[in-house]
Amino acid sequence: MITDLEPRLRIHFATTPFRPAPGWEERVVSNAVLASAAPSRRWTFGTAGHRRRLISAASLALIGMALVITTMPAVAGPDIPAWAAGLRTAVHIDSAGGGRATSWGSTIELVGAYLDDQHTIVVLKGNDASLALGSANLVTAGHRYTMQQSVSGHDGYYALMFEPVPAAQSSSMPVTLRLVDGLALPPHVWTLTFSIGPRVVGSQSVPTPGRAGSMAIAFTSVSVVPGAVAIRFTETGFTYDQVLGPVQVSNSGGIQMTVRGPFTVRVQVFDQAGQPLRWLDTQLLAAADGSASVSFADVFLRTGPGPYKIVITGPNGDSLERTIGS
């Protein structure tokens, strides 16, 4: 019977659904070249042409939760810049070799991890700045967390974002991080082992509220921790539609929102030298339908010394500036 299946499969796979539309191949090549020429500033999100922001209603319940991060004595490597060496304090590396792995001559080293109720961010350094870490998963306590987003190209540093690991917010958890470079042939695979665990971040003074033109801004919390600067604030004066462009809402499987289009509220953080910190993630926290109020949770990669200047620019171009950290 199996031999009978083979010709049927060949016929099936030759039908229209498995063939591209006429003229599509030509467009793919030109689009690939054009896309490579364009600068990339943000996380690559999902499929081509679809940069999406996924907002879970669960975020509502998470507003106000303390940011947590692990702590261990700093261990600075000889080629690790100060900001990255500081990030090492976020994790405990189980063994001398556990935080470093080599595959086909490319070495990946664990730099640090940032945990909060929204996500887990692992920062790595590679001896090859052109690695394509397209696939990664983090396994802890029998649960596999797949990589949601990644960012690379920052002086050989790679930041990978996973879902939050709830258990690690209450106790130290050994984890295994498996990375794959899908562009390499044969595929490069790295396995790193380390632990992540909690530490309640000391309270930072919350900046005073203010206005950016017609937009009122009230800060909820700010956290300056090794490797990351996290800011939460609520703007009043503009609705979702105004700050996000087209918004699509789904009620299937809980309330979820898929956001497309550019943000018209811009959040930037600059270090002491005036250098912008690399943006890592924005979560938009749900508000009542039609409400002219939107809450943001932004995380930036801390790449230079503070104090840090936050600049929030509204849809009409007016800005608010506040200084945090030290």
Partner 1 sequence: MGLDATEPVMFQSDTHSFGILLQPLLSGAYGLAYSILGERGAAEDAVQEAATKAWRGLPRLRKGASLQAWFFAIVANQCRDARRGSRNDVSLFDVPEPKVADHADLVARDIDLERALDRLSPHQRSLLFLRYQMDMPPAEIAGILGWRTGTVKSRLHRTLRKLEAAMVAPIEENS
* Contact residues: partner 1, CB under 8 A: 1-2, 5-6, 8-21, 24-26, 28-33, 35-36, 45-50, 52, 54, 130, 132, 134-135, 146-148, 180, 182-187, 248-253, 256, 258
The alpha-carbon radius of gyration of the chain (Å, integer) is: 22
Q: Which is nearer to partner 1, 106 or 268 (CB)?
A: 106
Across-strand partners of 298? 231, 282
Burial of 108 (0-12, 13-18, 19+ CB in 10 A): buried
CB of 37 to partner 1, least distance (A): 10
Across-strand partners of 160? 122, 150
Q: Which is nearer to partner 1, 54 or 200 (CB)?
A: 54
Token readout for 321 is: 């500036």
Q: Which is nearer to partner 1, 12 or 77 (CB)?
A: 12
Q: Are 267 and 296 in contact (CB under 8 A)?
A: yes
Handedness of CA 67, 79, 97, 192 (dihedral sign): positive
Q: Are 212 and 319 in contact (CB under 8 A)?
A: yes
Q: Which is nearer to partner 1, 77 or 104 (CB)?
A: 104
* Placement of tokens 């105004």 in the chain: 242
CB atoms within 10 A of CB 317: 10
Phi, psi of 144 (to 5 degrees): -105, 125
Token readout for 230 is: 């996290």
Q: Which is nearer to partner 1, 17 or 73 (CB)?
A: 17
Q: Which is nearer to partner 1, 134 or 174 (CB)?
A: 134
Q: Which is nearer to partner 1, 1 or 273 (CB)?
A: 1
What is d(CA 131, CA 184) in angstroms, rounded to the nearest whole number? Answer: 8
CB of 67 to partner 1, least distance (A): 22
